[in-house]
Structure 1
Amino acid sequence: MKPEHQVIETLGMFRIHTHYYASPAPRGTVMLVNGSLATMAAFAQTLRFLQPHFNVVLFDAPYAGESKAHNTHQRPITKEQEASILLELIAHFQADHLLSFSWGGASALLALSQRPPTIRKAVLMAFSPLINSAMRGYLESGVDLLMNYERRKLALLMNETIGEHLPSLAKRYNFRHIISLADHEYQQMAFHISQLLTQDNHCYLMDSANIEVPVLFINGDQDRYTTPADAQHFNRYLRHCSFVSVSGAGHFLDMESREAWTQTREAVLGYLAPQLFGAVTRPIYTRITLDQNAPLAG
């Protein structure tokens, strides 16, 4: 089914291009939040299993994808502005579920901490509140390449690090996407990463204490950058959180293999609409002993 397209003005200054996929048998409406340097197209595999059961809303940030042509890109957008944009879109579409990928989890958490009244459940995929050594190395290398517009080197870095488990065809698409981005997109991501590396990141966890709805965290057990163990630090602050590890998957989860797609599908649908599967595919939530001295990050 083709989506309905709509350009929505937010915060009185940004115009956001959205796609709305109507479900034939909707159990609610899910808002999807992209990761860094990504566009709506990155959710193609997730859309496959959501749209038969939920209305699905995708959107591109003001600086990215189909929203780029509608905005001026005079300065980088802050994470607070991204969260506010998300809140306005949730209200516009009356979304009752939220699903984010990777660093889209940062704006998702900030939005959830403001308790949007329509949201009932949220899923954060490939997100962690920590910057571990592997992630720090990736970000420090990446920010230098972004600031110097080293497109080919950045694309190679992403495929060799967080994209290490992607199939070869997906890596080729990813490479072409990264080298085709505009200068302002590189500036935006350099700004975002610089904030992550320099700010006091306790705020992400502290803000999460204001979240009242249940949140499911899904991480690949082969992901060295946002690990299942690191994600479980949210246990300290969130009232209602659960965790699923996708066996054999890295950072990109349902994009990496048929097996990872199936596990991700069952985890997401088993959480958002458990009546679809019952006890047979209900995810098993594990807890991992935490290092209380680990550094905290967004």
Structure 2
Amino acid sequence: MKAETAVLDIQGQHRVYTEFYRSEAARGTIVLVNGSLSTTASFAQTVRYLHPHFNVVLFDLPYAGQSRPHNSHERFLSREEEADILLALIEHFACDHVLSFSWGGIATLQALARRPARIKRAVINSFSPIVNQAMLGYLRSGLIVMREYDRESIGMVLNGTIGKHLPSLFKRYNHRHVSGLERYEYDQMSFHVQTVLNNGGRSCVSFAGKIEIPLLFVNGEWDEYTTAQDARLFTQHVRHCEFRTIAQAGHFLDMEHKGAWLQTRDALLGFLLPTPAALPQQREREAALAG
């Protein structure tokens, strides 16, 4: 399974590295949205079960991964601009589904609130509409070490909090990755974290009510930072939402162990690929939304 790679010009402002996994048997095209400090490599486990059911699109934001060399990094990128980039990629690749992970959910929900006509369904992994005490502690600790460019401590904070349930191999990979980033990446993430702390996470719910497509929220049973219970607060804001809890899994879901991988796979494909019996109801819902 080899990706078709390209660096795309987005609105004459950003250059974005993309990977496109094409499938002859695809029943649609899905774009995956990274969490903070992540790159396309973080979705290796997810691509395994989405392909060949879907064409799969991965990308690095302008300040991250293989997009970094193609951009100037003269200013911070806002979540609104990240949503702009996502919408441009949806159009370019004719995507009809979206999947986000962790803080990638903020830009994804913002993009979906603009009601892109192509998108039929979306999955929001490891995200909740509030910043609880555990997440608050993680963000504050992360902000301190990122502002000090304390590379060793950045890796330790990540693996000691949201990454605590990862196997040792992935912890080593995470530590090596986040401790080797450029200073402007830490500055960009500090900017995002400070924005979240200033509004208490409320920015994602202020526009969630504008989303009309079905959403699936997936959270780990052991994830104390974006809990399954907190995620269900989205029922107060989103019109059509479903929820799945992955047993014995933390924040990183399908990366943590084979059982979590299987559960996440089944939850996502069950939602994204409705059974034949469910298709008439889906068509009625889509027709109602279109009208």
Q: TM-score range by the shorter chain?
A: over 0.9
Supply the distance in 2 between the matched residues of 1:193 and 1:200 (Cα, whole angstroms). 10
Tell me, yes or no, if the aligned pair for 2:100 and 2:124 is still in contact at 8 Å.
yes
Partner in structure 2 of residue 261 of structure 1: 261
Amino acid at match of 1:87: L
Unaligned runs of 5+ in 1: 279-298
Partner in structure 1 of residue 111 of structure 2: 111
Partner in structure 2 of residue 249 of structure 1: 249
- Residue deviations 1:171-194 (CA, integer Å, cap 9, x gap): 001110011101110000000000
Distance 1:200 1:164, change over 3 A: closer
- Residue deviations 1:198-243 (CA, integer Å, cap 9, x gap): 1264332120100010000000010000000000111001110000
**RMSD (Å) for aligned C-alpha atoms:** 1.3
Supply the distance in 1 between the matched residues of 2:182 and 2:44 (Cα, whole angstroms). 23
Q: What is the DSSP-based 3-state SS (H/G/I as helix, E as strand, rest coil) of the residue aligned with 1:274? A: coil
Normalized per residue, which structure has more helix?
2
Unaligned runs of 5+ in 2: 279-291
- Residue deviations 1:45-68 (CA, integer Å, cap 9, x gap): 000000121000000000000100
Amino acid at match of 1:158: L
Q: What is the DSSP-based 3-state SS (H/G/I as helix, E as strand, rest coil) of the residue aligned with 1:124? A: strand
Partner in structure 2 of residue 296 of structure 1: none
Q: Please show how residues 198-213 of structure 1 align to structure 2 within 5 Å.
A: 198-199=198-199, 201-213=201-213
Q: Please show how residues 1-298 of structure 1 align to structure 2 within 5 Å.
A: 1-199=1-199, 201-275=201-275
Partner in structure 1 of residue 281 of structure 2: none
% identical aligned pairs: 52
Tell me, yes or no, if the aligned pair for 2:130 and 2:200 is still in contact at 8 Å.
no
Amino acid at match of 1:272: L
Length, aligned pairs only: 278
Q: What is the DSSP-based 3-state SS (H/G/I as helix, E as strand, rest coil) of the residue aligned with 1:173? A: helix
**TM-score between both structures, scaled by the size of structure 2:** 0.94
Tell me, yes or no, if the aligned pair for 1:128 and 1:231 is still in contact at 8 Å.
yes
Deviation for aligned residue 1:277:
11
Q: What is the DSSP-based 3-state SS (H/G/I as helix, E as strand, rest coil) of the residue aligned with 1:87? A: helix
Tell me, yes or no, if the aligned pair for 2:131 and 2:201 is still in contact at 8 Å.
no
